[in-house]
Structure 1
Amino acid sequence: MLELVKRNTALEVNPTSSFIDIHLTDHGSSWLWAAFAVFGVLTVVHGFLYTLTSVRRSGLKKALLTIPLFTNAIFTYTYFTYASNLGYTGIPTQFNHVTTDEGLDVRQIFYVKFIGWFLAWPFVLSIFEVITHTHLTEEGTDLISKFISLFSGLFTKVVAVEVFVLGLLIGALIESSYKWGYFTFAVFAQLFAMFLIGRDLFHSFGAASRSGLGNMFVLFAFVVWILYPICWGLSEGGNVIQPDSEAAFYGILDVITFGFLPTILTWLAVKNVDEGFFGKIWPYHLKDSVGDNTVDPEKSIGDTTPRHSGDTAVAPAGVPATATDE
């Protein structure tokens, strides 16, 4: 059984195309399988937790659990493809820092990881938004205004990050020096998104209701995030490191960004976010419904007392009648 686990036949079953000489080896593939296992375990755990969580008793908790569930599920799929030596193409290199005896100078580019980033980043940004906006549960601001602000801010960040991912993808598929133009677009989009998140962090640190530990993890995510364009410049862009080293570099960044951070931040959010606040967005809140249907006991006697025709009223039971002489 142990020998079966150790044996990695991915590159034998799915050999690299013959026109590519700078490509992934068994060592890189084995590391990617390890990352796949991490994502797979986290997916299964959050899948069970999501299934066992009651939407009636813990609706917010169940909703937040979808974030680590989907990010880990997406990257389980992504890294299965990556480790299997699938989802790639070959692009001639601009620089010859890494060469082989074959002298083809064609590097293996795994576009599958860019697809994974494109799909998973919105979920990571969503948990960033929740962590940095716990102050919205404070009283004094209109609920509709709060949620419009939250949605518009998240939408802007998502668009910026998708431009970042697409810029790196398009640049990786270009042979000429024009790839660095798309790299520049990507970095500017990344810095813009980081500025928006950083501004939210600044306000969050000063709020009475905040998640201090969660904010620190978001700051740590910034450090990890800035390493992505550095890795791209050393691999797809500059052809400085081998595809195996590229796989290890990206793998560590992805496990942190899309595996551990969403999981940690989600559980911090479950602990700190006021679930009762989110119940107020429903138009038929229980408190309002009870208030509308309350019956005044003083008026109920008069309302339910039968009346005869004319001007004479029958007194309620237990109340002496008063005669009136005309």
Structure 2
Amino acid sequence: MGNHALDVNPPFGADIHITTRGSDWLWTVFSLFTLATILFLAHSFVKLPSERLFHYIDISILLLASITYFTYASDLGYVGIGVEFFRSNHKVRGATRQIFYVHHIYWVLSTPLLLLNVLLTAALPWTHVFFVILVSLVATVSFLVGALISSTYKWGFFVFGLAALGYIAYTLVIPGRKHAAFLGTDVARAYNVAALLLIFAGFLYPIAWGVSEGGNVISPDSEAVFYGILDLLVAFGVCGWTIWAHHDIDPSRLNLRLRSYDEDIPGAKGHVEKPRPAANV
């Protein structure tokens, strides 16, 4: 049974669009993300409910990616936008190009979760974490808005996004590393690898944006491959590493242990204070 996504959902309103080959690749990425979501969900039961914070974050990222790539592969969630640069190459020849806003929505939702994964590992203060998440929204929304603009003004939003990514990279390299190092070598190692993956990918995404939605240099199929590899690298790399690296790290060291429903809360009604052992004389 072949792939009939483009027959059912033809690319109306876009001269430059994905082909069945691109859709086939996107279905592969969707399958990988869906399988990973199921595996991470099953693995979460290995941990106590009070120690599943990173599982919940990672499962959310993978689930969002699965839904996004299902939509992407189905040739849905896009809009045709006029290109700024007209190319002679037949793969990118035309006046309008498919812009998959659903993919940008995924980044708007998943980037804060990826940063939570990393910054919580370093036990960065919540005020700083909140601000970095806000900056990440500036970055992802800027790239989304820029992609939906056909004129040269799109590059202004591109610069806004780059500036926001620069601040995020600074936070990961300077304050984040200092906080993680203070918590021990195991926490520092867990943090450094995840942060390095985020920084590496964070500077490849703007390149992908520049040659696809921005500059109309590569075809939508090549764009799908570029973004698909990056999304797999980030999601599998950061999420997989986080789960593995935190296997022997007590969440209470990071002030992240969650209370179970059957645990007493000190000071709450009905709480019984356990007797303290007698002091040795």
TM-score for both structures, normalised by structure 2: 0.86
Aligned twin of 1:247:
224
RMSD: 2.9
Change (3 A) 1:109 1:226: same
User: What is the total number of aligned residue pairs between the two structures?
Assistant: 270
CA distance in 1: counterparts of 2:107 and 2:256, whole angstroms: 29
Deviations 1:39-70 (A, max 9, x none): 10111112223356442xxx12x222101110
State percent identity of aligned pairs.
Answer: 32
Q: Is the 8 A contact 1:87 1:110 kept in 2?
A: yes
Change (3 A) 1:30 1:98: farther
SS across alignment from 2:247: helix
CA distance in 2: counterparts of 1:202 and 1:295, whole angstroms: 42
Aligned twin of 1:65:
55
Aligned twin of 1:190:
165
Moved over 6 A (4+): none
CA apart distance, 1:103 = 6.0
Give the number of the structure whose alpha-carbon radius of gyration is greater.
1
Unaligned runs of 5+ in 1: 134-148, 297-326
Deviations 1:53-88 (A, max 9, x none): 442xxx12x222101110000000000000110000
SS across alignment from 2:184: coil
Change (3 A) 1:27 1:112: same
2:280 is aligned with 1:290: no
Map of 1:101-112 to 2, 5 A cutoff? Answer: 104-112=94-102
CA apart distance, 1:105 = 1.6
Map of 1:243-282 to 2, 5 A cutoff? Answer: 243-275=220-252, 278=256
Q: Which amino acid aligns with 2:71?
A: T
Q: Is the 8 A contact 2:104 2:140 kept in 1?
A: yes
Deviations 1:92-129 (A, max 9, x none): 10001365499642111000001111111121111111
Counterpart pick for 2:34 among 40, 55, 68: 40
CA apart distance, 1:212 = 3.9
CA distance in 2: counterparts of 1:173 and 1:151, whole angstroms: 33
Counterpart pick for 1:10 among 5, 14, 37: 5
Q: Is the 8 A contact 1:67 1:123 kept in 2?
A: yes
SS across alignment from 1:108: strand
CA apart distance, 1:200 = 2.8
SS across alignment from 1:290: coil
CA distance in 1: counterparts of 2:274 and 2:166, whole angstroms: 50
Unaligned runs of 5+ in 2: none
CA apart distance, 1:21 = 1.2
Aligned twin of 1:29:
23
Change (3 A) 1:206 1:260: closer
Q: Is the 8 A contact 2:197 2:234 kept in 1?
A: no
CA distance in 1: counterparts of 2:54 and 2:205, whole angstroms: 26
